Each structure stands twice: as structure tokens, then as C-alpha cells.
């Protein structure tokens, strides 16, 4: 494992057996996250991005593959992980209305991890107040219940809970998707500030490509359980390669003609979106791809490094491998 990486995901797979067959939610996914980096994992609903985050935090054990955190193999489920490791990796979920206990006050929600990990003994008032101030919430909120808070305020409480144990790595699973745009901006700015203050590393899971342009240093695109393109954010937006990536970027709404000119040429997909139970053979995107080749429906493409740090999984680029 490279000394600059806090996390390495290697050939990760997670399959679920259901009555109608096997769902390949995560299928041979590999990437790394560097210390202090925000790494974006982007995809449509059902792409497997959230499941990937759940495996890393330990909610699921992988079917196969490895997860290395600071060089330690953490591929086991959360119940087998030492408490010291659980403390280092935290997760902020998409919907704070379901991730916060409505019968607990904000104080009780935030102080629980403090007590579990032995960070505070006795009165936790001062520490809870510090955490609320850190996420830009009034100290008086500690005696309120989640039902008395707005959506953005609930998510800030969830972030404060994640920060309570001084983690090194936080998985942010669509943390702003259910919020108003103005609240989204406030939370994103707060997350970026906290990251710099405490040298945190983020895995930012989202379907919002515009958001990634502003917060992530590198971006990976997932489709039906696989990563199909990975690059630095600048390279990703100025030189997208995979037809699916181009389709996503061309559909981003913009305001000015200048922004419109920077987008890839409009890609119109064909066919139906396959389900997780009937992933097509070969390249899983081929039924929707306007640039498909004869080989695409027969053989799955390999992940190729087309330029330093820019990887793509597409038969169109076989001759360009460096």
C-alpha cells in the first residue's frame, strides 16, 4: 500500500442472493483515497456507489476483494473490527431523518459515541457544545429533538456525531441531496472547512457531477456495480472518455453559453436501463451506447490507463493504452 493512501479498495465484490438470482451490487471495484483528499464516487441510483460505502464502513462484509485502511486489512464485517478502527472511519448517511433517533435529544445523539469510545467521562456538555459550534449550530440545540429541526440542521447534527470521535476518514453518502440549494452550499462549505482543520479524508458519494467539480480532487464513475472511468477532476471534466461519462456530463444543466460550449457533445442513449438482476454480457453499457462496437456485447473491456491517472473501461480505447 502506498504511504500516500489512507484507503485502498482492491477488486471489491458484493453479491446478494435473492429469490430470482444474484444481484452483483459491487463487481470488481478498485480505487484509492489519499490522505486529506476528497474522492468522488458518482453514479445513478442502483450503480452500487452507496453499497461500496457501506462495505468500507463495515455494514456489509464483502463477497471478495480487499479493503486496506492505513495498510491494515479491514475487509471483515463491522462486528469483527476493533473499536479503535471503528473510531477512525465514520459515515454520514443521506437521510438524517432516518439516521437520527427521534426519541433522543441532540445532546444524547452526539454524546453516545463520546461515551462508547471513552472520549468523555461524566458531563459531556462542553464537548457537545464544541461539536455543535464546529458544525455552525447554536449550543441551545443540544436539548432539542430531531423532529424540532430542519433537514439541514439534522444533517449538521449527523456530521457533528461523526466528528465526535476524531475520525481520520469520513464516508459522505449523498449528504446534501435532500436539501435546498442554499442549505447544500452551507453544509458543503462547512465540510470543506472541517476537512482542512482536521486533515480529514472524504469519500464523497453522489449523483451530482456539478458538485464534484467544486469539491473533489479525483472522480470515479460507477455503472451497474463497476467503475467505468476514473480521473482527476480537471481531466475528467475537460477530457471525458467513456460514452456513459459523456452522457452524464452532457446532461448537466448550465446557465451560460460559455458553460454549454464546455460540455461534451450531447450523447443520446438507446434501449432500456438494465436492472441489477439482468446485467448485460460484455460491456454492461453496450445496450445504451451509441458508439458500441461488435465486441462490446461479447467481451468485457479491461480498465486501461489512457493518460497518467486517467483510467477508462471501454473497448474504444484499446489501441491507446500507455
Please write down the HEC assignment for all residues of 5-48: EEEEEEEEEEEEEECCEEEEEEEEEEEEEECCCEEEEECCCCCC
Same domain, 180 and 76: yes
Q: Quickly state the pLDDT bin for 231 (edges 50, 70, 90).
A: very high
* Residue 275, domain member (yes or no): yes
Give me the domain span that covers residue 95: 1-103+149-216
Number of domains in the chain: 2
Tell me if 99 is assigned to some domain: yes
Q: What is the pLDDT of residues 68-108, one digit of tens each?
A: 999 999 997 777 788 888 899 999 998 888 889 999 999 99
Whether the CB-CB separation of 216 and 240 falls below 8 Å is answered with no
pLDDT of residue 296: 94
Scanning 121-232, the segments in alpha helix (DSSP H) are 125-134, 151-163, 181-198, 209-215
- Other CB atoms within a 10 A radius of the CB of residue 115 amount to 14
Q: 94 and 189: one domain?
A: yes
Tell me the pLDDT tens digit for each residue of 109-157: 999 999 988 887 778 899 999 999 999 999 999 999 999 999 899 999 9
Q: Which residue has the higher pLDDT, 36 or 209?
A: 36
Q: Where residue 190 sits, what CATH number does that domain have?
A: 3.40.50.300
Same domain, 54 and 172: yes
> Do 4 and 166 meet the contact criterion of CB atoms below 8 Å apart?
no
Distance of CA 261 to the CA centre of its chain: 29
Assess whether 286 and 177 both reside in one domain: no
User: Nearest to residue 214, comparing CAs of 184, 243, 239?
Assistant: 184
What is the number of other CB atoms lying within 10 angstroms of the CB of residue 59? 12
Amino acid at each position: 500500500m502506498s504511504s500516500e493512501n489512507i484507503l485502498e479498495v482492491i477488486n471489491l465484490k458484493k453479491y446478494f442472493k435473492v429469490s430470482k438470482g444474484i444481484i452483483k451490487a459491487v463487481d470488481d471495484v478498485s480505487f484509492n483515497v489519499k490522505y486529506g483528499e476528497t474522492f468522488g464516487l458518482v453514479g445513478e441510483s442502483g450503480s452500487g456507489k452507496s453499497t461500496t460505502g457501506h462495505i468500507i464502513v463495515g455494514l456489509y462484509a464483502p463477497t471478495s476483494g480487499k479493503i486496506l485502511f492505513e495498510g491494515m486489512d479491514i475487509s471483515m464485517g463491522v462486528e469483527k473490527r476493533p473499536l479503535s478502527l471503528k473510531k477512525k472511519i465514520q459515515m454520514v448517511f443521506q437521510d438524517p431523518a432516518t439516521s437520527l433517533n427521534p426519541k433522543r435529544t441532540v445532546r444524547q445523539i452526539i454524546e453516545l459515541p463520546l461515551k462508547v469510545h471513552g472520549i468523555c467521562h461524566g458531563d459531556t456538555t462542553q464537548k457537545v457544545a464544541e461539536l455543535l459550534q464546529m458544525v455552525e449550530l447554536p449550543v441551545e440545540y443540544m436539548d432539542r429533538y430531531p423532529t424540532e429541526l430542519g433537514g439541514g440542521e439534522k444533517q449538521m447534527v449527523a456530521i457533528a456525531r461523526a466528528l465526535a470521535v476524531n475520525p481520520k476518514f469520513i464516508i459522505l453518502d449523498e449528504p446534501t441531496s435532500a436539501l435546498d440549494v442554499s442549505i447544500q452550499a452551507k453544509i458543503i462549505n462547512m465540510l470543506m472547512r472541517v476537512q482542512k482543520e482536521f486533515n480529514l479524508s472524504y469519500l464523497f458519494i453522489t449523483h451530482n457531477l456539478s458538485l464534484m467539480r467544486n469539491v473533489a480532487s479525483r472522480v470515479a464513475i460507477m455503472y451497474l456495480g463497476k467503475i467505468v472511468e476514473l480521473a482527476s477532476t480537471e481531466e475528467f471534466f475537460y477530457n471525458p472518455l467513456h460514452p456513459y461519462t459523456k452522457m452524464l456530463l452532457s446532461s448537466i444543466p448550465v446557465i451560460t453559453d460559455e458553460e454549454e460550449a464546455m460540455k461534451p457533445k450531447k450523447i443520446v442513449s438507446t434501449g432500456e436501463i438494465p436492472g441489477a438482476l439482468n446485467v448485460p454480457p460484455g460491456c454492461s453499457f453496450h445496450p445504451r451506447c451509441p458508439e458500441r462496437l461488435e465486441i462490446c456485447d461479447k467481451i468485457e473491456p479491461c480498465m486501461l490507463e489512457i493518460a497518467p491517472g486517467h483510467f477508462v473501461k471501454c473497448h474504444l480505447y484499446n489501441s491507446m493504452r500507455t
